Structure 1
Amino acid sequence: MAADVSAELDRMQATMAKVGTAPPSGKPLTIHVNATMPSSPGTVTLRARVTHQGAGDALAEAATSTRVTAPDLTTTTESRPATPAAGKDVTYVVTVTNSGTATSAADATLSLVLGAGFTVAPGALNNNGTYDSGSYTAAWTLSPLPARARQAYTVTGHLAPGAAIPTPRAAIKTTP
């Protein structure tokens, strides 16, 4: 987003330079820039007004807008069956949704913390997922996800008899 805004500021500066009006000798120029930033991906509008000391009239004015795009990844988790039982098999499905306006980068990981008493057989995770039995965590490297798309990640395992029914916690981490 910063690169988009910076490029727009450069274009705005070039437009204002074309005006060619100089302030009175020895008077400093003042450039007022107003940016309207959306709280989520959307349109950024920049407005600039150039004035000089001692005069209220603008020497130049310019406005420009640019569309800012970004991914917005969220997760939902469900179990199958809907009510897991100790001593039974259960599949957890984490759906990653990109509600943003751009494809997500390939630097994100998804983790799903399950809980003690949950065991996973080899190959029980889709999309090349891995399982760490020490931390009871399933993990996947996310593929780039187009805007408005979703992808499901699953892990099937067994809840030990007498085990507490876990409340899985999913999280997405991106590398800065």
Structure 2
Amino acid sequence: MSMTQIAFIRKADLPTNKQIQEVIQKLGYDFKIFDDLEKQIGEGGLECSINGHETYFETYLDEANNVISETEAEWIKPDLTNQDTAISFVWGADFSAGACIGLISIALTDLSNALVYYMDDQMKYTREMLIADTPQFLAELNKQTNIKHQEVVKPNQTNKQTETTFWNRLKNIFK
């Protein structure tokens, strides 16, 4: 299942990746964009990291009116004033991507007065909502990391004398 968040912005106000990264770092987050910092968010995707967790998500740029008609999002139209460009962020079940997209959306709001919408729930995000969601994404990311760490450590903690057969090793992989 993929999720989509869209930021509507004036194309002339689109900041560079470096400007976005700096705003997020000033908010106190360990955030990095791995793509060219002098470029702007473009087609194809963005590689970044939050708290050392690297992620990638898809990004698409289009005219605001095209996105509204293609996504049947006429409910957004009354909010738009001079926003002529839409940046769509698309990701899967990846909490680090969700956190990064939320933080990038905050930076776009701060730098360019972007209007941000979570399309799956037909919901407009305020800056405050985006800020409130970020710790939740990071908490889920930490839980996920801890579970993976426990799964890796768990087999080594047992000190049983078991026959090391191919099947036993295979079963341990899927625990």
Between structures 1 and 2, the one with greater strand share: 1
- TM-score, length basis structure 1: 0.26
- Higher relative CO (Cα under 8 Å, sequence separation at least 6) belongs to 2
Between structures 1 and 2, the one with greater helix share: 2
Based on CA coordinates, which of the two structures has the bigger radius of gyration? 1
